[in-house]
A and B are shown apart, each in its own frame.
Chain A
């Protein structure tokens, strides 16, 4: 009887463990990179709209830029821009531009023209520009860097979706 009561107490306490627990790190960049990499492999019943080679490249590069930045020692102070956040933003923007160019070059001319007129893409471009401006004003704000990465990833995904129809 006593054991049964103890058991009940224990079980009530165990139910209290059923709580959400956010990961300590944002896992999305890694998930996006892995999904994008998966989509470039030969299909095994894969959905045809999920062939996102440029996005795979872009996502991997954006992720790699972040990882490399975190593991490399600080560069010499003589470098043009010694602020690490701004340096990372510049590197990320370069990779993004390259991936975007790759998508645009691989799409037919009418598609490229249609994409250029999509309001949601303009909106994302505007957001990215605002984030870059904010980063210039406040180069210590790492959350802006995450926001920029997110915006670039989204922009590439939407562009790719527009290309694939």
Chain B
């Protein structure tokens, strides 16, 4: 019960964290009309947020996160003519960034599971937006990076990004029950990696 309440509060808070301003509206309108300079300004404003969520989803693998961030912005440019101003631009872009990372995750599932998670550890703990990384967040980032990709995606989307299981299940093409099971598994693994399990 407590868990459900906390989740709902986090989710709502999460969805309103980027209040659009008039300047942003003008930039988006111009970008929709094909103004590349306006789109560059939007890139400068949102690169940190987009790269942040992608980095979390791919286990802080630096080069892969940067490639996918670039992909996300190219896809955003292509999709902009269809943007209808029904949601905040930042929310629309965030969703697009997540989908870009998840598409990559699905594509990688068909390949050998070597994945780059081992390499990912080398990139964990680069400076955050405040210019520093605490020991706690560093440990946590390292632990998150070592999770199996799908379990990590569910954990990040649910516990960090504040998505609901229904949304996660739809985006990952799985049943709601599977999303819950993956979350349970991810938390269990995470606790074990952090040495928190009895």
A residues sitting closer than 8 Å to B (CB atoms) are 2, 4, 6-8, 10-11, 13-25, 27-28, 30-32, 34-35, 38, 47, 49-50, 52, 55, 153-154, 157-158, 161
Q: Does the CB pair A15–B74 fall under 8 Å?
A: no
How far does the Cβ of B101 sit from chain A's closest Cβ, in whole Å?
13
Chain B residue at minimum C-beta to C-beta distance from A37: B74
Most chain A CB inside 10 Å of its own CB: which residue of B49, B74, B136: B74
Supply 5 further A-B pairs (C-beta < 8 A) apart from A20-B48, A20-B51, A28-B40: A10-B194, A16-B137, A18-B160, A22-B48, A31-B70
Stretch at the interface among B28-36, B103-111, B114-122, B172-180: B28-36
Given known pairs A23-B66, A27-B47, the reply for A47 and B81 (CB within 8 Å) is yes
Given known pairs A10-B190, A15-B10, A22-B129, the reply for A35 and B70 (CB within 8 Å) is no
Q: Does the CB pair B74–A21 fall under 8 Å?
A: no
- Residues of B contacting A158 in the complex (Cβ-Cβ under 8 angstroms): 37
How many positions in chain B have a CB within 8 Å of any CB in the partner chain? 51
B residues sitting closer than 8 Å to A (CB atoms) are 2-3, 6, 10, 14, 33-37, 39-40, 43-44, 47-49, 51-52, 55-56, 62, 65-66, 69-70, 73-74, 77-78, 81, 126, 128-130, 136-137, 140-141, 144, 155-156, 159-161, 187, 190-191, 194, 196, 198
Q: Does the CB pair A49–B51 fall under 8 Å?
A: no
- Residues of B contacting A55 in the complex (Cβ-Cβ under 8 angstroms): 36
Q: Does the CB pair B73–A13 fall under 8 Å?
A: no
Contacts across chains A and B counted by CB atoms under 8 Å = 117
In the assembly, what is the distance between CA of A117 and CA of B155, in Å? 56
How far does the Cβ of B83 sit from chain A's closest Cβ, in whole Å?
12
Most chain A CB inside 10 Å of its own CB: which residue of B34, B35, B44, B140: B34
Q: Does the CB pair A47–B66 fall under 8 Å?
A: no
Q: Does the CB pair A27–B160 fall under 8 Å?
A: no
Q: Does the CB pair B140–A21 fall under 8 Å?
A: no
Given known pairs A18-B161, A23-B69, A35-B77, the reply for A161 and B35 (CB within 8 Å) is yes
How far does the Cβ of B165 sit from chain A's closest Cβ, in whole Å?
15
Q: Does the CB pair A32–B129 fall under 8 Å?
A: no
